[in-house]
Amino acid sequence: MFLEIETNTKNKELKVKLQSNNEEKDNSNNNNHQTKNSDTHSKTEIELNDLNSFQKSGSVSNEKDIEQNDSEHKKSGFRVTSVQRTPCHLYLSVPKNLSSEMIIIFHTAKELKGKPQVKFGENNSPDYNLNNIGQSYEVSYDNNRWIHYVGLTGLTPNTEYKFIAGDSKDNKNWSKEKNFRTSRSYLTDDQLTFVVGADVNVVDESIEMAKMMSNYDPDFVAIGGDIALSNGNKYCYRKWDQFLDNWHNSAVHNNRLIPIMPVIGNHEVMEGYRYKTEPDTKKAPFFFTLFQQDANIKKDPFDQKPYRVHHISENLAITPLDTHHIYTENEQIDFMNDNYQKLRDDNVKHIIPIYHIPAYPSDKEYSVSSSTRVRTFWTDLFDIYKIKLAFEGHSHLLKKTKPLYGGKAVDQNKGTIFLGDGAWGRLRDSREDGVLRWYEEYISSTR
Ligand SMILES: [Fe+2]
């Protein structure tokens, strides 16, 4: 599913186009698709930008290939060379202010000699005349890995930059040149294109969708939960590796990487974690360590919150929320009241929440408790703050509701339209009866 958003402040309208490739597919076998990486990599097949290959080759210990004078390989189980400081999984995370900031993230299989660094410049400048230093965070899967975050601030709106990323104390082993683009500072009659989806997975269909969405040249993509379906299990890190590898190769437009705005879903947390005593972000290890949400990088990524505000422009804000995967819906009411009121005071025309469990489900029954909670705690706030559009996921169908206000369908000039429901890489058959519910305007199992 694609949603193309046009903002037109002159006419005070927000247009949404649903795009479909009209290709109906059965999802029943999706879970049987497996990642493309095989276990047949030998050391000579290692590609410099593929950390997966390092780790897979590391699991196949071939003493002939290991330099005897390199003691570190004995600890890690694979050959330590300088290429392990070569950035891989180079990708972008949407910052708090997309018109003036960017977050660049890369991984290495070995600790850097210096600090993670990004050298960059406007596309038309002769060289990389700007640079910034970031922070690293060490994670441990089968082997240790370092995730590096570099936040860039003070950027010029609506500008494309070129950049490379690497080790501040190593002139070699830097990434290839890529591009990123800031958004417009204020949306007038210009079109802003962004893509929203959910329930991605690492199947072939997900790659097809990523390529298709890249053709729209979007400023960013918001993924409303259930991204790599790792269930927060650190031994399933290869699913995330595959996702990021797919993303790096497919979510790119003319060498420009497309920033990700991740949203937490039930498959981001261990065993569908819903806390009993204290909220614990450690239950979603990939969600918090693979992404940062603020160009002022958090030293401990687990200090981040899954609910937050991203300013895409001065008049458009998107607010990811947590449908009780870590924090309860109830706990976010103060956050929503405070921030939505402030956004309205600041004349932010469009406020768009995005979250995983749908208030108005297209698959499960209307009365299912997880959806009832979303309606109980949040949809009144959507009415109060005149939210026109909310993005949902989880049901694996394509859905658009009628405008809803006070829990009832209303005319087009009032209420919130709920769009979803998470059919990026996962699909299910349409409901058997095929009859639209009172709140639905459209549902389909067509991606
Ligand atoms: Fe889900």
CA 227 to centroid of ligand 1, rounded, Å: 9
CA 209 to centroid of ligand 1, rounded, Å: 18
CA distance 63 to 77: 10
Count, in order, helices (H) and strands (E) of the chain. Answer: 8, 24
Q: What is the pTM of this model?
A: 0.83
Give yes or no for a contact between 304 and 288, defined as CB atoms under 8 angstroms apart: yes
CA distance 332 to 270: 21
CA 374 to centroid of ligand 1, rounded, Å: 14
Predicted local distance difference test score (pLDDT) of residue 273: 65
| 3-class secondary-structure state, position 330 | helix
**Per-residue pLDDT tens for 351-375?**
999 999 999 999 889 999 999 999 9
CA 364 to centroid of ligand 1, rounded, Å: 12
Give yes or no for a contact between 396 and 359, defined as CB atoms under 8 angstroms apart: no
CA 268 to centroid of ligand 1, rounded, Å: 9
CA 97 to centroid of ligand 1, rounded, Å: 28
CA 114 to centroid of ligand 1, rounded, Å: 40
CA 242 to centroid of ligand 1, rounded, Å: 19
Which of 157, 159, 164, 100 has the alpha carbon at shortest distance from 130?
A: 164
CA 422 to centroid of ligand 1, rounded, Å: 8
Which tokens hold the place of 402? 């009628």
Predicted local distance difference test score (pLDDT) of residue 25: 37
**Cβ-Cβ contacts under 8 Å for 435 (sequence gap 6 or more):** none
* Residues of the chain under the 50 pLDDT cut: 1-3, 7-14, 18-82
Domains of the chain, first to last = 2-25+187-444 (3.60.21.10), 43-83 (no CATH), 84-181 (2.60.40.380)
CA distance 430 to 175: 44
CA 110 to centroid of ligand 1, rounded, Å: 34
Q: In what order do the strands lie in the sheet with 221-223?
A: 135-140, 144-152, 102-108, 88-93, 260-262, 221-223, 195-197
Which of 130, 127, 192 has the alpha carbon at shortest distance from 158?
A: 192
CA 398 to centroid of ligand 1, rounded, Å: 14
CA distance 247 to 164: 18
CA 264 to centroid of ligand 1, rounded, Å: 9
Predicted local distance difference test score (pLDDT) of residue 413: 86
**Exposed, middle or buried, 29 (CB in 10 Å: 0-12/13-18/19+)?**
exposed
β-bridge partners, 389: 417
The identity of residue 21, as a single letter, is: N
CA 158 to centroid of ligand 1, rounded, Å: 34
**Per-residue pLDDT tens for 176-195?**
999 999 999 988 866 789 99
CA 231 to centroid of ligand 1, rounded, Å: 10
